[in-house]
Amino acid sequence: MTPGGALSQVTRATAPTVPGTLRFGYGTNGLTDLRLDDALNLLADLGYDGVGLTLDHMHLDPLAPDLAARTRRVSRRLNALGLEVAVETGARYVLDPRRKHGPSLLSPDPEERARRVGLLSRAIRIAAELGAHAVHCFSGIQPVGTDEDTAWRRLADALAPLLDDAAAAGVPLAVEPEPGHLLATLSDFHRLRGALGDPAELGLTLDIGHCQCLEPLPPAECVRAAAPWLRHVQIEDMRRGVHEHLPFGEGDIDFSAVLAALAATDYRGLSVVELPRHSHAGPHFAELSLPFLRRAEAAASAPSHGAHRVPSAGREESSV
């Protein structure tokens, strides 16, 4: 690490948290060309508060035989850098090298569903070891030939033992509404919550871009509506009706309004930048994203925060 990086560690470790200040992280699924240590060093040097750690083969492999030792090393590194962490489980091919996000909690084969449950149970244990504020997960796509009621029963049945694990570990399980999945909207989250009896361990991952993509409410209103169940936040730009994660300023979201709404909630976890398809230029977008978010946060506190748009974080240059 550079001398400046070492200085940033000391500053971050000793600086008090300002009440009401939002805490931002960057997802490792947008830094897949970097070794995990290098990614963590980068984020600490840039001033991020934490990291959304996607469990995958190139970083913290949840299937590695020496997982316990690796997890301890990552925990020590996070502590040394002063980085908070959320554990994310959206790795595309971690369980099956041929099927994206397969198998899922909805797979027709009980043994395949059990593999996904096993991965999430392991993620909860990792999260407890790392001191993570949440474990993120999602439902999966409704399989061809499976009716909707059956798919919802499978999802509830698969999550029930994981909620027991989450309660024992003291780490909430935060389900993400994902476009194209069975559980795609906030309304779907409430359907699941009701089916499970509204357990305290079941929380929500709110992806701000997904709100822009398909929710009937604007993203800021989604934040307010989701506040009681909010356990994890992912953030990026997006356009209406198009599920494409975009750098800030390239979509249609009013981030000042979103961050004002988020600051008004009791949510104190990380808001994690999610740009997985920009991983080839991950350091570039990590460097641009945090200043954009801080500008939007400052604009949110101004009396006229809704009257102007925060300047773009910048498009990728052709040389990147």
How far, in Å, CA of 111 to CA of 138, rounded?
Answer: 18
Residues 42-55: what's their mean pLDDT?
A: 98
DSSP E strands, the chain: 23-27, 50-54, 84-88, 135-137, 173-175, 202-207, 230-235, 237-239, 242-246, 270-273
How far, in Å, CA of 243 to CA of 140, rounded?
Answer: 16
**Of the candidates 304, 289, 305, 282, the residue with the CA atom closest to the CA atom of residue 30:** 282
Q: What are phi and psi of 123, to 5 degrees?
A: -60, -35
Residue 97, preceding peptide bond in cis (omega within 30° of 0): no
How far, in Å, CA of 111 to CA of 62, rounded?
Answer: 18
Cα dist from 57 to 36, 42, 87, 89, 278, whole Å: 11, 20, 14, 12, 18
3-state secondary structure of 175: strand
pLDDT-based confidence at residue 43 (cuts at 50, 70, 90): very high
Q: Do residues 187 and 217 lie in contact, with contact meaning Cβ atoms separated by under 8 Å?
A: no
3-state secondary structure of 97: coil
Angle at CA of residue 202, ends 136 and 215, nearest 5°: 70
How far, in Å, CA of 314 to CA of 38, rounded?
Answer: 24
How far, in Å, CA of 181 to CA of 227, rounded?
Answer: 22
Looking at residue 273, what is its pLDDT? 98
Looking at residue 220, what is its pLDDT? 98
Looking at residue 283, what is its pLDDT? 98
How far, in Å, CA of 51 to CA of 57, rounded?
Answer: 17
Angle at CA of residue 3, ends 44 and 46, nearest 5°: 25
How far, in Å, CA of 188 to CA of 190, rounded?
Answer: 5
320 has pLDDT over 60: no
Looking at residue 309, what is its pLDDT? 56
pLDDT tens, position by position, 104-145:
999 999 999 999 999 999 999 999 999 999 999 999 999 999
User: What pTM did the predictor assign?
Assistant: 0.89
16 has pLDDT over 50: no
pLDDT tens, position by position, 173-223:
999 999 999 999 999 999 999 999 999 999 999 999 999 999 999 999 999
**Of the candidates 209, 219, 284, the residue with the CA atom closest to the CA atom of residue 250:** 209
Looking at residue 302, what is its pLDDT? 76
Looking at residue 271, what is its pLDDT? 98
**Burial annotation 4-18 (CB, 10 A radius, 16+ → b, else e):** eeeebbeebeeeeee
Q: What is the mean pLDDT of the chain?
A: 90
Q: Which residue has the tokens 């024992």?
A: 168
